Structure 1
Amino acid sequence: MATKLHFTNTTQSAFYATVRQRTDAYFTTRSLSRHANSAMWRKTIGLLLSFAGLYLLILLGSFNGWGLLGLAALLGACSALIGFNICHDAIHGAFSANKRVNHAFSLLFHLIGANPYVWNLTHNVVHHTYTNIAGHDEDLEVAPGLIRLSAEEPQHPWHRYQQWYAFPLYGLASLSWVLRKDYVKFFQRTIGQYAPPAHPRKEYWNLFGYKALYYLLFLVVPYLVLPLTWWQLLVGFLTLHLVMGLVLGLVFQLAHVVEGTVFPVPDETGDLQEAWAIHQLRTTANFAPRSLLAGFLCGGLNRQIEHHLFPRVCHIHYPALSRIVKQTAHEFALPYLENTSFWSALRSHYRVLYQFGRST
């Protein structure tokens, strides 16, 4: 039977109580909703129109092979941005106070090849609860056996080179979602050490039905409409997912697998000697916090500290919340980890890969 983890240090709960009180006051005194504002809606409409436009350009435009390949790459990047900015918030219940609106936008996850129900289990439930805990946090299992992201994992000779080959492997992340991972996680008895309840019957239909729809839209229809051979279509499909996967993989890794973040190990009874909120501060890092472009493109995931503490708040509010969280963390003498730019975070991630590839 899997050991259930417990965050046992209740003496640290004052930090979270204080930061929640200050966050509540921020929204209340300004009469602001925690959910999407007009800027968020404009971004949402713009991303969806871009996605539809790129898809139609591929099918109906008069482009040669290289032109189609470029459009496929752009569609992959746009798919990642929709995942970050719209679906991620919606599945967390952060996009809108209306559950139906959140559900509607979560369905867009199917259009980028992923299953929102499985994502909720692996990400919302498991990752957000057991962040950076080997054997529990599924996000550490990027490529089991090939990439080592924890000292608790077995070490193999090829890990000495993982700082080089990890990045191309990240490009396979979305392809794995589309073809393998969602199916595997859906039928596993446990996800990490978490045993999900019996899946509702409709989710079986959703898994197979929406996957079939995705294959129809992105494989069958292009093959029927475009004057392409099967291998040309395959190259375009792979290009879309390599770009999408690389963007997804880098953004998520730069938030948790960088210098300064920790990988806690529970004791034999499953106890972790700290409060849940403190655990989030120690296992999560922001990057490029002052970059408007990073904030816009990443859907606030460059500010993952705020996201992990307040996952039900729309990311459009994270810049304001970060000032509150950072000040409160410093008052309580707690870490607030951040890399000043995307490139500094990337270099830090490289060094952590190097370290885990050699350390025992």
Structure 2
Amino acid sequence: MSKIRFKNTSNSLFLATTRKRVDAYFREANISRNANVAMWAKTLFFLTGFVGLYVFILSNVVSAGWMLMLSVLLGMFSAFVGFNICHDAIHGSFSSDKRTNRLFSYVFNFIGANPYVWSITHNVVHHTYTNIPGHDEDIEVAPGLIRISEEEPVNRIQRYQHWYAFPLYGLASLSWVFRKDYKKFFQSKIGEQEMNHPRKEYFNLFFYKAVYYFLYIILPLLILDITWWQFLIGFLALHLAEGLTMGLIFQLAHVVEGTDFPTPNPDGNLEEAWAEHQMRTTANFATHSKVAAFFLGGLNRQIEHHLFPNICHIHYGPISKIVKQTAQEFNIPYIENYTFASALKSHFIMLRRFGKEA
């Protein structure tokens, strides 16, 4: 597999102009690119909700039925903590203080995922080789079952993928907890990135996984007044809620109508600059929704996030106007679905196109 190179990587006038205007926005407004008061309020809300739900479930003061409902809510809050806090922290955009970012990135372990592995698969590989089949492993949800590229062979079962894909997304969190992190960690290569881990990351992987298994499996079985099968239902409900929330949000940003899945030429070259590649492979959705802005941690504004991952998502609203205007001036696509429902419909159409209609 050839190493991928972007044409005119250092000469993207679009990116240079956009950066200049965004820099001017922060300079003239005299505000930090990192977390502000609103971001800290969000952080307090989601962490309090996350810890509070976990403690309340383990308190044994509610019935099994209520525990199940609270488990679903805990799963959703786990995803929201990942979206709003850990994602920014691992990108280094939450704070200008590296220790603060490191502290909040460790929270990722307590929602079942390894921050070090994520920093490689997401920060490095996905953000560089977005939507490039065979390189961007973030879009490979279930190889062989879900087809999202013209380059992939078609099989019979994929004719129905637009129906079964959504339940499969619900398994994303379980895969992360028990399989994905281990698999990625011990791969020799992820995308273009060679794997050569520091020794401490071997310890961190197994130690924090053990902590997670203790907190979410062993401890509940020891102290909750429920049967093993009731626990199993609750545990699965938690992860199905978390997985579906994560899976949908990530897919709606890259696998919708209008986004490209480019293939490099035999020499490994892509005939566009990196920033233009990001604009053609990434989409926004529900950008006018205050609910989406609060709960999704800027992931509904993926265009701004991909161009400026070092800026805290709390600022994406204002800078999106700059990015959109600049894209129009340079005749570069700015892909967006105005509502969550329209993005969901568009994703469904893409799944059907790559499956049944292939």
- Secondary structure of the structure 2 residue equivalent to 1:326: helix
Distance verdict in 2 for CA 1:204–1:11, change over 3 Å: closer
Partner of 1:307: 305
Partner of 1:122: 121
- Secondary structure of the structure 2 residue equivalent to 1:329: helix
TM-score for both structures, normalised by structure 1 = 0.98
Deviation at 1:12, TM superposition (A): 6.1
Distance 1:28 1:100 in 2: 25
User: What is the aligned counterpart of 1:208 among 196, 201, 206?
Assistant: 206
Distance 1:173 1:326 in 2: 32
User: What is the aligned counterpart of 2:354 among 345, 349, 356?
Assistant: 356
Q: Percent identity?
A: 63
Contact 2:93 2:312 in 1 (8 A): yes
Residues paired across the two proteins, number: 358
Partner of 1:337: 335
- Secondary structure of the structure 1 residue equivalent to 2:328: helix
TM-score for both structures, normalised by structure 2 = 0.98
Distance 1:61 1:24 in 2: 52
Partner of 1:277: 275
- Secondary structure of the structure 1 residue equivalent to 2:293: helix
Deviation at 1:194, TM superposition (A): 2.6
Distance 2:37 2:62 in 1: 36
Of 167-176 and 9-18, the range deviating more from structure 2: 9-18
Distance 2:49 2:348 in 1: 32
Contact 2:257 2:347 in 1 (8 A): yes
Contact 1:282 1:335 in 2 (8 A): yes
Query: What are the ranges of 5 or more consecutive residues in structure 2 without an aligned counterpart?
Result: none
Deviation at 1:359, TM superposition (A): 4.7
Query: Residue deviations 1:173-215, cap 9 Å, x none?
Result: 011000000000000001134323x100000000000000000
Distance 2:203 2:303 in 1: 35
Q: Does 1:321 align with 2:323?
A: no
Q: Give the letter for the 1:348 counterpart.
A: S
Contact 2:133 2:261 in 1 (8 A): yes
User: Following superposition of structure 1 onto structure 2, how do residues 85-96 of structure 1 map, counting pairs within 5 Å?
Assistant: 85-96=84-95
Query: Residue deviations 1:338-360, cap 9 Å, x none?
Result: 00000000000000000000354
Q: Give the letter for the 1:177 counterpart.
A: W
Distance 1:177 1:155 in 2: 26
Contact 1:151 1:356 in 2 (8 A): yes
Partner of 1:180: 179
Deviation at 1:9, TM superposition (A): 3.4
Partner of 2:48: 49
User: What is the aligned counterpart of 2:232 among 228, 231, 234?
Assistant: 234
Q: Give the letter for the 1:330 counterpart.
A: Q
RMSD between superposed Cα atoms in Å: 1.0
Contact 2:283 2:336 in 1 (8 A): yes
- Secondary structure of the structure 2 residue equivalent to 1:255: coil
Deviation at 1:52, TM superposition (A): 1.1
Distance 1:170 1:207 in 2: 24
Partner of 2:82: 83
Contact 2:159 2:357 in 1 (8 A): no
